[in-house]
Structure 1
Amino acid sequence: MNAHSEIDATLVRREDDTGIALLVLDRPAARNALSDATIASLHAHLDAIATDKSVRCVVLAAEGPAFCAGHDLKEMTARRADSDGGAAYYLDLMTRCSAMMQAIVALPQPVIAAVEGVATAAGCQLVASCDLAIAGADARFGTPGVNIGLFCSTPMVALSRNVSRKHAMELLLAGELVGAEDAARMGLVNRVVEAGGARAEALALAAKIAAKSTRTVSIGKRAFYAQAEMGLADAYAYAAQVMAQNMMTKDAAEGIGAFVEKRKPIWTDA
């Protein structure tokens, strides 16, 4: 049994509706900080969704005034009492959290973050790890670890794969929060809606994606992240193979046929 096999619905709850799984961080009093149990619960939800054929898209939202304030610093500080000063625990924590972030990227279904309030440090990493992100107008983002002597090195991995190097380094080095419009300009979020409207907008976007062929979407998502790590020639060679294989799927035949015949396609997700 994996360490992240248990779901605690009091920390992260799941609500399903018409092919969309809504995951809600539910520790508002703790600003939805990523405690050990929260990381495990979120990872367990992702594992369950990965093999759930009824889920076509995922929306990640949060209760309360903060989306996610990052790691649970009180929980981390308590481990300084360990015999090694917490060294083994800190490495294990960062490894487990990194695995959860990578599970979002590896998930066959697209994941959309719906951000209201602050998303800082590992919370900003969480947004950057999602495939898409919608922000309420009052949302703020940042990697302020440098201000407390703890550079946001793991959030840096996701952040630097979403925004330009100069923007990433300014966020990491200055430790200041940026508003939703600046986050959109940087490419950290797709678009900004009125405060309080991020979840509804994310669900609407999820519904559009859920109407597509899940086979096609999963092929595309996997290929997007794979080619992004390659050199140009390798990326094209890989993408050519993926597209040729995609062309052989039943949904590609149906979709192209429907387009030619000017009718709505009927997906079988095969």
Structure 2
Amino acid sequence: MNPQTSSEIRGNWATLLLPINADDSIDHHLLADEIDHYIAARMNGIYSNGSAGEFYTQTETEFDDINQLLAEKCEKARMPFQIGASHMSPQLSLERLKRTKALNPSGFQIILPDWFIPTWPEIETFLRKMAEAAAPVPLIIYNPPHAKRKLTPDEWLKVSEIPGIAGMKVPGGDDAWYDAMQPVFRKMSVFIPGHFLATGISRGAHGAYSNVACLNPAGAQRWHDMCIRDIATALAFESRLVRFWEACVVPLITRDKLPNMAADKATAVAGGWLPGFTARLRWPYNSASAESIAHIAAEARKQVPELF
């Protein structure tokens, strides 16, 4: 694929969830089926090695194999794809990026150095070196809720001045955040969580690396199309979607103290679109219970049936 510009990184992107066998190995056959399903659902793009891709657990050989498979299938289907080159080690993140650049991704996702909180000069030095190594492939900065260093709107505006950085994946914010981000929206692709997509698009954001796609990829794509075609109806649906998410999915994190990727995998199993996929996370992290998943499945079909 060709590298995408900030104005081309748009829409509803699906995360490549990592299927884990009982022996903690990766199920590559199911991984291939998952990619095929996303392509058939006509997602706007697919990205590897986000949190739900469990990038932090992968050996370098596993990382290479996953992204080789993704690149081959997406090239054949002409599906935009981004490679998550994130790692807690900046050195390993840089090596992952360099090693997979030949796969011609549409973009690279990276996190900021995370072992010790970086200062702004250190962040700028890191981003410039990564962007230089990635060129002409653009960078997308993944700044999740649990990041040790969360960038402010003023800092994002400074990030937008660094050549080679095209976008971000962020948790979003309140009205004040959206007001402060308006200059950034004009310069970078800004993606927010999928269940806030209508609000995000109505305030100037450009899409979602979508948690809703974990529940049902085709349904999430219809949800995105609704946001573009009929924002009033989309905002009304979003109010129900957010109520469902906060009542049924968020408690896995807040009540059960599970990591974010456990919620993503639980919603995928609840959605039932990938036969054989389980909510299992790689050691040492715990996954959602069968009871929690059954509750999500039942309530999703009751509260947001449009997604199915």
Query: Is this a same-fold pair by TM over 0.5?
Result: no
Structure (1 or 2) with the larger CA radius of gyration: 1
Report the TM-score, using the length of structure 2 for normalisation.
Answer: 0.30
Q: Which has the higher contact order (CA 8 A, sep 6+)?
A: 2
From the two aligned structures, give the one with the greater strand fraction: 1
